[in-house]
Amino acid sequence: MSKTLSAIIAGGGLGGLATAAALAQRGCDVTVYERQSALRASGSGIYIWENGLRVLDALGAYDDAVRGAFEGRAFEQRDKHGGVIDSAPVGAGKRLITVKRSQLLDALRDAALRAGVKVVTSSEVIGATPRGELRFANGDVARADLAVGVDGIWSRVREALGLETFHQQTAEGALRTVIERRPGDIPAGDAGKYIENWNAERRFLITPINETQIYLALTCPERDRAARDTHLDKALWSEAFPRWAHLIERIGADVSWGVYSIIQCSAWSAGRTAILGDAAHAQPPNLGQGGGMAMQNGLALACALEGIECAEAIPAALEAWEARERPLVDHCQKWSTLYGEVACLPDEVRTSTIRAAMAHPWVIEQINRAAHHVPTGTGERARSVSLL
Ligand SMILES: Cc1cc2nc3c(=O)[nH]c(=O)nc-3n(C[C@H](O)[C@H](O)[C@H](O)COP(=O)(O)OP(=O)(O)OC[C@H]3O[C@@H](n4cnc5c(N)ncnc54)[C@H](O)[C@@H]3O)c2cc1C
């Protein structure tokens, strides 16, 4: 990429910082505009699968992102009696780590800053044009060869370009928090597992993220007002998941609630302005791939622009980028949405549905396709990187 290409990015989240780092590492002059007063992660913990880990390695953010993180070996679903519905190993040749979101964001920020990216905070983007322009709430306009909207679910860049064709919010949402991890919290027989417990439409997901912290996600339908209250009704949740009452008891005041968005667009770019991450392809978190897809597509976008020396060539490169990356994103979004449907099934039906599906190699291959994918720009290099 020519040193003279410039890029402006709306949003300093996982996707925005990964895109910024990847572009700057290829010689682009990059500025990130973030609405918040500081680069700040929202949410608690995050799953990063093999594909996302390879991207982190390619960006030089891997070591910082996974330092001290938890590496799970198996994923287990359990019914309301504590019986195992299904237990699946993470799988050969594939890694999964879980880490605090702030650690991941900091690692991407540092990689971006090392590459020379400039970050402007307290800067709210309210519009964009296909000519590589971003418009700001204070009346300013920024122009570059390339503009990228990585400004999340309610993307103003997507809105301004008129790209949205579908935006649905799910009936289910999640309470998320992190608690201190104590000896004996997880029985010895469950070490190395991610445990997803079901009771009717309520779900309790236990995710260690390092030696000292556990990320908890408590999901339920939005209409389940008692369960979704951020002033957590501990008695209600402990009654639903009595084996884990000792964890529920320790949940503090720092609990967030949100439903999920499913977003599809007619295209991921217009002229010299692109969108990616949740702005372009938000998906429910059931496969733990939304952030992975955002980082992966950011790196792929930078690779697609490699060798381009004039702005006029950018629109075609963006179209080629979308054509290459979109099938996997659409696939992942479809399966993540489909998995969410088991939440509304009666317990017995859910148990037999999950067991039947997870016993079928075709279903497992569909669900795992993203994690097995070698993302653009990573090659085989990351295969040799061992975890922790
Ligand atoms: C409950 C839940 C659990 C999840 N678990 C996982 C998981 O385990 N693994 C995984 O890979 N993914 C997971 N995801 C998905 C993941 O969080 C998202 O896909 C990912 O954060 C998308 O990154 P992004 O950069 O596109 O958007 P965001 O992370 O939303 O970042 C957008 C950034 O843009 C900024 N911004 C917004 N509007 C403006 C504006 N107008 N001007 C300037 N800046 C703006 C925001 O402040 C923010 O910093 C989960 C999502 C949810 C809801």
CATH superfamily of 6-169+260-384: FAD/NAD(P)-binding domain (3.50.50.60)
Task: Please check whether residue 371 is in contact with residue 49, taking contact to mean a CB–CB distance below 8 angstroms.
Answer: yes
CA distances from 218 to 52, 88, 173, 203, 291 (A): 24, 21, 8, 6, 19
Tens place of pLDDT per residue across the chain (388 aa): 545 799 999 999 999 999 999 999 999 999 999 999 999 998 799 999 999 999 999 999 999 999 999 999 999 999 999 999 999 999 877 899 999 999 999 999 999 999 999 999 999 999 999 999 999 999 999 999 999 999 999 999 999 999 999 999 999 999 999 999 999 999 999 999 999 999 999 999 999 999 999 999 999 999 999 999 999 999 999 999 999 999 999 999 999 999 999 999 999 999 999 999 999 999 999 999 999 999 999 999 999 999 998 999 999 999 999 999 999 999 999 999 999 999 999 999 999 999 999 999 999 889 888 888 999 999 764 443 333 3
Q: Whose CA is nearest to atom 27 of ligand 1?
A: 152
Task: Please check whether residue 74 is in contact with residue 87, taking contact to mean a CB–CB distance below 8 angstroms.
Answer: yes
Distance between Cα 164 and ligand 1 center (Å): 17
Structure tokens at 17: 């910082």
| Closest atom of ligand 1 relative to the 16 alpha carbon | 25
Q: Where are the domains of the chain?
A: 6-169+260-384
Residue to mutate, 8, 9, 14, ligand 1, most ligand atoms under 8 Å from C-beta? 14
Can you tell me the distance from the alpha carbon of 21 to that of 31, in angstroms, rounded to the nearest whole number?
10
Tell me the Cα Rg of the chain.
21
| Closest atom of ligand 1 relative to the 45 alpha carbon | 8
Q: What is the per-residue DSSP string for 222-236?
A: TT-HHHH-SS--HHH
